Chains A and B, each alone.
Chain A
Amino acid sequence: MEARFYGAGLPKCDTASLPGHLVVLEGADGVGRSTHIELLQGWLEGHGFAVATTGMVRSELTRKGIKAAKEGHNFDRTTMALFYATDLADRIENEIMPALRSGFIVLADRYVDTMMARGAARGLDREWLARLYGFALMPERTFFLRLDPDELIRRTLRRGGELDYWESGRDIGLAPDLYTSFRKYQALILEEFDRLGERYGFTTVDASHGVEEVQAELRRELAAMLDPSMFVTAHDGTD
């Protein structure tokens, strides 16, 4: 893939040859990002592609620190944006770039969009956020799994899950109760995602459809991006 950055890029980083591909899946918790990444990985590997996965707060450098900060009560929006940016930069330089240089398909469970949306929903300046993430490598494709907040809540709760403190924007005092706060916050996040989609041009996938349908759409898109002829098998691509 071509090495393009959101802004100034990374100093001292070799971007001469990146035979791999960076593909991002975005969307709220509960839309099925990790399920789809797992299915895509199996499918791609079945066709002989080397696949690496990465996701937010998985960097060796910041994993523990961010986890601890989230458990405390003093994690303000600017510090949060910068801490997550550190996490992303560490993963880009130490995981994503090396994998791309070796020809891997990197499937990223969330990327800059989530961080920009979270920051903007908390009132940070959108241009400041865009410049902050100027070091980030632009993915070849970003898929936004879109689901409206009411459906998201139902899906989460019927699986016995809880509405997460940060995913409900509890830190910014939107509402006195968790349910209302979650709905309001997720609506703000969706608004930001729509804005980001216009700016950076990603593909929105309707996540209210079943897993098979969404997966089939993702596979069609990826096959077209990679080389459709590699995916012509006995199966039609949806297993």
Chain B
Amino acid sequence: MTIREPHRYPGRLIVVEGIDGSGKSTQLSLLQTFLQSEGYDVSFTEWNSSPIVKDTTKRGKKKNLFTPTTFSLIHATDFADRHEQSILPPLQAGLIVLADRFAYTAFARDAVRGCDRDWIRNLYDFATRPDLALYFRVDIDTSVARIMGGRMQLKYHEAGMDLGLSPDPIQSFRLFQSKVLEEYDGITNEFGLTVIDAKRSVVEQQREVRKLVKPLLKGLRRHGLPRSAAKTTVEA
């Protein structure tokens, strides 16, 4: 199975994408709470969190060792490990897997860093195609306003400081993420991401997210429900 073909696992894979400040993590966390309260088994994984790769990424960032190529490769390594350990087993077991960022993040960012688009796509060819990929689209001003207004800090690589676009982190973030937004538009068409207008309120967006997720839940096992309800689900 590849990132371009539907998977045949009993579980469901739902991913969120978008630049920093798009609100995607907030939306995914609300969705997780909702699904769990509905009795579904949910598993969560996020970008850049593999236990065997983490230290290398940290060292590379701290010592400024990365080039566009190694930055791209280490993220693919991280993803491969999580795909094997944290995405495939729950999908095979019939769980709902929620992923905060997916291969599309690499397609967007690494291309802006100058890596060859076909080469990046090949790196992630082994990835399972999500059942639903939500792209939270915001304009750069909204994103910057949210980041500056919140507790979030602009990180060196998120701001694209490694590209030397501007010595000012905020200006660099604007320039870098504007290019990332352009890449996302192409990716949205290529891989059929579902666009969510992320300028709207949290509640409005979550309502739309749940509506989109609902058809995917059919046939999934639920637990912790009253006996009769559980029975109905099984029979349905």
What residues of chain A have their CB less than 8 Å away from a CB belonging to chain B? Answer: 7-13, 60-62, 64-65, 68-69, 72, 74-76, 78-79, 82-83, 85-86, 89-90, 93-94, 128, 131-132, 134-135
CA distance A74 to B105 in the complex (A): 25
Chain B residue contacts of A75, Cβ below 8 A: 52
> Would B65 and A78 count as touching, CB distance under 8 A?
no
What bracket does the count of chain B residues touching chain A fall in?
20 to 34
> Would A60 and B52 count as touching, CB distance under 8 A?
no
> Would A11 and B70 count as touching, CB distance under 8 A?
no
CA distance A104 to B154 in the complex (A): 41
CA distance A69 to B113 in the complex (A): 28
Interface-side segment among B34-42, B117-125, B136-144, B181-189: B117-125
> Would A90 and B70 count as touching, CB distance under 8 A?
yes
> Would A11 and B122 count as touching, CB distance under 8 A?
no
> Would A82 and B85 count as touching, CB distance under 8 A?
no
> Would B52 and A86 count as touching, CB distance under 8 A?
no
With contact pairs A62-B56, A131-B119 given, residues A76 and B84 touching in the complex (Cβ less than 8 Å): yes
Indicate if B74 sits at the interface (CB-CB under 8 A). yes
B89-143 contacts to A, CB under 8 A, are 113-116, 118-119, 122-123, 125-126
With contact pairs A62-B56, A79-B84 given, residues A11 and B116 touching in the complex (Cβ less than 8 Å): yes
What residues of chain B have their CB less than 8 Å away from a CB belonging to chain A? Answer: 50, 52-53, 55-56, 59-60, 63, 65-70, 73-74, 76-77, 80-81, 83-85, 113-116, 118-119, 122-123, 125-126
> Would A76 and B81 count as touching, CB distance under 8 A?
yes
CA distance A7 to B116 in the complex (A): 10
Chain A residue contacts of B60, Cβ below 8 A: 61
Measured CB to CB, the closest approach of chain A to B3, in angstroms, equals 12
> Would A64 and B59 count as touching, CB distance under 8 A?
yes
13 interchain pairs (CB within 8 A)? Answer: A11-B116, A61-B56, A64-B55, A65-B52, A76-B84, A78-B83, A79-B53, A79-B81, A79-B84, A83-B53, A90-B65, A93-B69, A134-B122
Kindly list 7 other residue pairs between chains A and B, CB separation below 8 angstroms, not including A65-B52, A85-B77: A7-B119, A9-B116, A10-B67, A65-B55, A76-B81, A82-B73, A128-B122
With contact pairs A7-B119, A78-B126 given, residues A65 and B80 touching in the complex (Cβ less than 8 Å): no
- Where chain A touches its partner, the secondary structure class is helix
CA distance A125 to B69 in the complex (A): 21
Chain B residue contacts of A11, Cβ below 8 A: 68-69, 113-116
- With CB as the reference atom, state the residue of chain A lying closest to B120: A8
- With CB as the reference atom, state the residue of chain B lying closest to A69: B52
> Would B70 and A82 count as touching, CB distance under 8 A?
no
CA distance A85 to B76 in the complex (A): 10
Give the residue of A8, A9, A64, A134 whose beta carbon is less than 8 angstroms from that of B56.
A64
Chain B residue contacts of A12, Cβ below 8 A: 67-68, 114
- With CB as the reference atom, state the residue of chain A lying closest to B123: A132
- With CB as the reference atom, state the residue of chain B lying closest to A125: B125
> Would B81 and A74 count as touching, CB distance under 8 A?
yes
CA distance A50 to B104 in the complex (A): 44
Chain B residue contacts of A79, Cβ below 8 A: 50, 52-53, 77, 80-81, 84
With contact pairs A68-B52, A74-B52 given, residues A128 and B77 touching in the complex (Cβ less than 8 Å): no
Measured CB to CB, the closest approach of chain B to A41, in angstroms, equals 26
